[in-house]
Structure 1
Amino acid sequence: MSSTSGNKKIFDWTLLRRVFSLAAPYRKKVMLSLGLAILLALLTPVRPWLIQITVNNYIRNGMLDWVIRITLIQFGLLLVETLFRFFFTFTTSWLGQTVVKNLRVRVFNKVVGLNLSQFDATPIGTLTTRTINDIESVNEVFSDGLIPIIADFLSILSILFVMFWVDWKLALISLAPFPFLILATYIFKESVNRSFIRVRNAVAALNAFVQEHLTGIQVVQTFAAEEREFDKFKKINKEHRNANINAIFAYSVFFPVVEIVLAVSTGLLVWWAASHALQLPPEQGAEMAGKMISFILFLNLLFRPLRVIADKFNVLQMGMVASERVFKVLDNEDYIQTEGSFAPDKVAGKIEFDHVWFAYKDEQYVLKDLNFTVEPGETVALVGHTGSGKTSIISLLNRLYHINKGSIRIDGVEVEEYRLEALRRQTGVVLQDVFLFSGSVLENITLRNPAISREQVERAAKMIGVHEFIESLPGGYDYKVMERGATLSLGQRQILSFIRALLYDPSILILDEATSSVDTESEQLIQQAIENLISGRTAIVIAHRLSTIRKADKIIVLDKGEIREIGSHEELLERKGYYHSLYESQFEKG
């Protein structure tokens, strides 16, 4: 994002209102923080003014008892101001963290409900940045952004009012260098803003790169690409460093400039007050001492918020940029539709694809006018070369993607009319690439669903003949699986996925059979598990093995998203068509 667009965001009142609408349930906290900001602004100039009165009226006249009283009052005001400031800081920080907690839940809930096409097009690291880093920046809108800026402005206005009320000429003299400070503040704000945008983009790039390469570390190491990828990482990391250094340089210049302006203001104040006091009658000249002391304190109180207000503007601005990114995720309409209300306890399992067209992008169709029917209890094998559309068919049936044209029906009801949870409860899925999470075998099978008991898991494992295998693992069902199932073989991971599917007793089984890369013992277990899973269920199987093809009631032969042939194994071989040549080249050795 360019700095120009970034500059506009802070004045995007619609976006700002939307950010603050997140705090609507905590309106009382917002009002409390604003009330405390007003009280702090009113209290800020009181102590310097009391010091002026003490010097002019009591110290000069030797009224020590009044000096003690005023000092005690000052001490009391200091305690009250400190208490108010604590509550103000705590309230704004509490508000920010509470909003962030709720927002992060909303964003994560939205992300897990997005269509898979969004994950195909968006790096996981980018979504991670949106869910964690960007949302944390929204917190700063509350804790260090708008409300603290309002508090600082109120304090500045309150101090300026008292300064001009006490002595407007002295106020004008001491504030003479302020135009230089305003110019320096503007330059600083713009410079840091550009750097912050670069930092934010660099963080997103780092997250995406690291996430992608840690996930694919096996590929990197297998092809000895460590050095090349490391060079890429160094370039991204260097950009992150340079962006931060630019911001640090701006801070390194700005703060000394503020100190110089404060010193010049103080010098002008002392010079004018001293020279002016010599021209006044002794009584009035003596009063100038109290004014000079109070004005030095006023200037220090005035410069305290001015030192950080530009930084807070940048925090607010970056929070707004981050919130816009977060809202883009929340506003994404490409999510899984769940408005269907049909939720039967059980389906017979009849599947119909009626003139189905589907494209992952625009009109680059990967499935073209598909028409076929699977009767309840039938096993249908999908065969074809890579890219023929086999995986797309099973993804559409489970509503992981939306079709472009046509309709898909289960028991005569379009899948869009099913409640999503009910549809997926009826369709068990076993994918070729089994993903396992960190945790025990039991937790990976149940996906931490408290409604599924250990006894149910063991019963399902026994039904497909893999209970003994799981018990043979160290710790049995409590065996700890590393991230992505790194401590288990491909076949072992596949077996766990079968139990996952069986636990919900689905009427329809979607099976991406993958036994070509597993050891013989695992293959035998998997074949047995497949037979037990398929028995009595409607099954759509992506066939990788000849044994599955032969046992299928029907084979659908796909080529470039179109159906070339449908029939049994023997029927298709007799036709001497596309399946026959595919069988000879791909399956004959199976």
Structure 2
Amino acid sequence: MTVKEATNENRHLNRFYYTVDQAVEKPFNWKQMWRLLGYLRPYSKTYLPGAVIAMFISTAVRLIVPILIGKVAFDHILANQNMTMLTYLVIIIAGLYVLSYVGNIFRIKWVNILGQNVIYDLRQHLFSHIQRLSHRFFDRRSAGSIIVRVMNDTNSLQDLFTNGIINLLMDMVMLVGIVVILLVLSPKLALAIMVVLPIMFYISTKLRRNIRRSWQNVRIQQSRMNSHLNESIQGIRITQSFSQEAANGAYFEGLNTDNFKGWRTAVKKSAMFGPVVEMCNALGTIILISYGAFLILQGEANGGIAIGTFVAFGFYIGMFWEPISRLGQVYNQLLMAMSASERIFEFLDEQPDVVDKPGAVDIADIQGAITFDHVQFAYDSDRIALEDISLDVQAGETIALVGHTGSGKSTIANLINRFYDPTKGAVKVDGYDLRDVRLDNLRRDISVVLQDTFIFSGTIMENIRFGRPDATHDEVVEAAQMVGADAFIWGLANGYDTEVEERGNILSAGERQLLSFARALLADPKIIILDEATASIDTETEVKIQEALQRLLEGRTAIIIAHRLSTIRDSDNIFILENGRILENGSHDELMQQHGTYFELVKSQFDMLDAI
């Protein structure tokens, strides 16, 4: 397939895949906007009133100066040729402009501080909320789509909070002030000029729907592109190993092109608002000159206007269309903010499926006895993962879960951690239904080691200490020694202070697994879950770990999920799972004597070894 063919095919797939994710026309959601503005509340007594006062000062100066120039300078001072008063007037106007300048400095300063604080609070709130959501939330969404919400969508609100809200208020005050002043100066001339306003509002209303939909489409295209970019970076090794750089680049080109076209369309439609305002400005100026000149010639005594009133009108008309033009820009900001806030509040409105019930208790001293009482569990309605599972694990006992992929082994581990709640039945620890126990209390005494272990950016020391931040240096080293990780750690450039980079890229798979063992054991849990934890470790290293585990698992309850016979044969009880049900259970010797599923599994492993 050529790059061009890949581009066309991926564009087709892109359109097909995202047909559900379309920009839809919705009325302006004032309730959502008030909710968004609620993030200003913590600053309602500090930066917000200061910015508003500064805005009123600078706006008041702009409204006063045309009156001073038109009515005072032209109609009184120049008419009477009073040069002393003219000097005083110039000094007063200069002072007002200095006051306006100072007001603008503080307005810009306080508004930017306000906006940055609001974005900080919103992003922190969103991240903290996501941290508390249940696993079902992450099962349904890609990491890229979540990153887009936390980073891009919150950034989209920055212009609204740093400029949009105060500018909107300032422009509304300016417009109302101008209209009132014009009506006071000359109602006839003011009404004649404002006859163009209905024309402008009619045209802008027609544009509004298209502009809103265009900006919604921009947000959707950006989300798709950022999600794919995150996925591409995460999976770069797979892309390169299959030599799919060209096809992947072609797919990204399709997304990038759609994003480019979306932005171009949105900007083009938004830019149409400016010419509409300019046209209305031109019509208003024509009316001012023609009808204003007629009123001047008519004379004040006959219901006309003075020359100073005409000059003031000229100033105000020039000022009148400026805030209207900015209101169009603010409206675009509001549309973008509405689109972004819809996506942010979608996450904030998500509630975790697994929460502490009212009156949840703490188990003072967890011993580690685990009971599954006729447990059924389904990830979704048409896929049963566990069917009527009943098992008992005594405190300090080691059990193994064995079965084919999808048999329910990891699901049992997830239920013990209470990442999910059972659909039916109950999971108990020390006789307590987990739904009656506080999550933090439960998970503090459980450590999990996964096959695909996750190493955070930072040092070796920080990664091992992750599950127990208050651990001392010696305790960290001791945990590493007990799992056999100490030797390779001291072989690194800076020992325990070595930076492991993102996802532990400088470490081998086996070394990362050893660190996860040390991290789990340092937490000193009462229950340890090993989910294929030795799959990435070579046989020699596994022997060392087995020796350490014999000592470390003593007095603790252990659930081991593994396929290697060497890992599970010493377990007190081995459960054979198939399609979410327990087929057999017993010790290694007992199961071998039954000549059942476990026997066949062990036999097949030995046959494979013999073949090798």
1:321 aligns with 2:339: yes
CA positional deviation for 1:588: 5.0
Q: Determine the C-alpha separation between the residues in 1 that align with 2:437 and 2:160.
A: 41
Counterpart contact for 1:382–1:390, Cα < 8 Å? yes
The question of 1:200 aligning with 2:219 is answered yes
**Which amino acid in 2 is paired with 1:460?**
A
Code of the aligned partner of 1:27: S
Most deviating of 102-111 and 251-260: 251-260
| Other-structure match for 2:4 | none
Alpha-carbon offset, residue 118 of structure 1: 0.8
| TM-score (normalised: structure 2) | 0.89
1:332 is aligned with what amino acid?
E
Shift of 1:275: 4.1
User: Out of 64, 87, 105, which is 2:106 matched to?
Assistant: 87
Tell whether 2:228 aligns with 1:209.
Answer: yes
Bigger mean CA offset, 479-488 vs 85-94:
85-94
Residue 574 of structure 1: aligned partner: 593
Deviation at residue 384 of structure 1 after TM alignment: 0.4
CA distance in 2, matches of 1:336, 1:432: 24
Tell me the alpha carbon deviations over residues 394-414 of structure 1, each in whole angstroms, 9 at most, x when there is no partner: 111111222211111111112
Counting only pairs closer than 5 Å after superposition, residues 201-350 of structure 1 correspond to structure 2 as 201-280=220-299, 288-339=306-357, 341-344=360-363, 346-350=365-369
Measured in 1, the distance between the counterparts of 2:198 and 2:56 equals 26
CA distance in 2, matches of 1:405, 1:419: 20
> How far apart, in 2, do the equivalents of 1:551 and 1:4 lie?
60
Deviation at 1:515? Answer: 3.5
Which residue of structure 2 aligns with residue 124 of structure 1? 143
Equivalent pairs, count = 586
CA offset at residue 557 of structure 1?
0.2
**Distance of 1:71 and 1:109 partners within structure 2:** 57
- What residue number does 1:453 align with? 472
Does residue 488 (structure 1) correspond to residue 507 (structure 2)? The answer is: yes
Within a 5 Å distance, the mapping from 1:458-477 to structure 2 comes to: 458-477=477-496
Question: Alignment partner of 1:473: what SS?
Answer: coil
Identity percentage over the alignment? 35
Q: For the structure 1 residues 108 and 468, does the alpha-carbon distance in structure 2 shift closer, same or farther, using more than 3 Å as the test?
A: same
TM score, norm. by length of structure 1: 0.92
* Cα distance change, pair 313–252 in 1 and its aligned pair in 2 (3 A): closer
Change in 2 beyond 3 A, CA 1:329/1:345:
same
Hey, what's the Cα distance between the residues in 2 that align with 1:338 and 1:588?
49
Deviation at 1:385, TM superposition (A): 0.5
- Please, which of 19, 42, 48 is the counterpart of residue 36 of structure 2? 19
Q: Is the 8 A contact 2:218 2:262 kept in 1?
A: yes
Determine whether 1:365 maps to 2:384: yes
Distance 1:412 1:448 in 2: 26
The answer (yes or no) to whether the contact 2:58–2:101 under 8 Å persists in 1 is: no
**How far off its partner does 1:141 sit?**
4.2
Identify if the C-alpha distance between structure 1 residues 352 and 103 changes in structure 2 by more than 3 Å, giving closer, same or farther.
same
Say if 2:75 is the partner of 1:76: no
Question: Do the aligned residues in 2 keep the contact of 1:107 with 1:131 (CA within 8 Å)?
Answer: yes
Shift of the 112–249 alpha-carbon distance from structure 1 to 2, 3 Å rule, reads same
Does 59-68 or 312-321 show the bigger shift? Answer: 312-321
- Following superposition, the deviation at residue 493 of structure 1 comes to 0.4
Unaligned runs of 5+ in 2: 1-20
Contact 2:467 2:523 in 1 (8 A): no
Cα RMSD (Å):
2.6
Change (3 A) 1:529 1:207: farther
What secondary structure does 1:354 align onto?
strand
Deviations 1:166-194 (A, max 9, x none): 11222233334333332343344333322
Pick closer, same or farther for the CA change 1:312–1:102 going to 2, 3 Å. same
SS in 2 for 1:367: strand
How far 1:271 moved relative to its partner? 2.7
Could you tell me how far 1:33 is from its partner in structure 2?
4.7
CA contact (8 A) 2:273 2:328 kept: no
Q: Distance in 2 between matches of 1:195 and 1:281?
A: 51
Q: Is the 8 A contact 1:494 1:526 kept in 2?
A: no
The alpha-carbon deviation at position 221 of structure 1 amounts to 1.8
Report the CA distance between 1:428 and its aligned residue.
Answer: 1.4
Shift of 1:39: 5.0
Residues 359, 291 of structure 1: CA spacing in aligned structure 2 closer, same or farther, 3 A cutoff? same
1:320 positional shift:
3.0
Matches of 2:110 and 2:275, distance apart in 1: 32
Asked if the contact 2:484–2:545 (Cα under 8 Å) also holds between the matched residues in 1, the reply is no
Aligned to 1:546: 565
In 2, the alpha carbon distance for the partners of 1:281 and 1:497 equals 90
The equivalences for 1:418-433 within 5 A come to 418-433=437-452
Instruction: Please report how far the alpha carbon of residue 40 of structure 1 lies from its aligned counterpart in structure 2 after TM superposition.
Output: 5.0
Alignment check: 8 A CA contact 1:189 1:310 kept: no
Please report how far the alpha carbon of residue 450 of structure 1 lies from its aligned counterpart in structure 2 after TM superposition. 4.1
In structure 2, what is the Cα distance between the partners aligned to 1:481 and 1:548? 28
Opposite residue 194 of structure 2, the aligned amino acid is: L
Letter in 2 for 1:338: D
1:359–1:296 CA distance, 2 compared to 1 (3 A): same
Q: Secondary structure at the match of 2:405?
A: coil
Q: Is contact 1:144-1:315 (8 Å) kept?
A: no
* Stretch deviating more after TM superposition (564-573 or 56-65): 56-65
1:436/1:484 contact within 8 Å kept: yes
Counterpart Cα distance in 2 of 1:2 and 1:162: 46
What code does the residue aligned with 1:293 have? Answer: V
Query: Any stretches of 5+ residues in structure 1 without a counterpart?
Result: none
Amino acid at match of 1:556: F
Q: CA, structure 1 residues 334+421, in 2 after alignment: closer, same or farther (shift >3 Å)?
A: closer
Once the 2 structures are TM-superposed, how far is the Cα of residue 147 of structure 1 from its aligned partner?
Answer: 4.6
| Deviation by residue 1:309-357 (Cα, 9 ceiling, x = unmatched) | 0221232233233223322222212244134643345322211111111
Aligned-pair distance for 1:140?
A: 4.2
Partner amino acid for 2:503?
R
Residue 472 of structure 1 deviates from its aligned partner by: 1.7
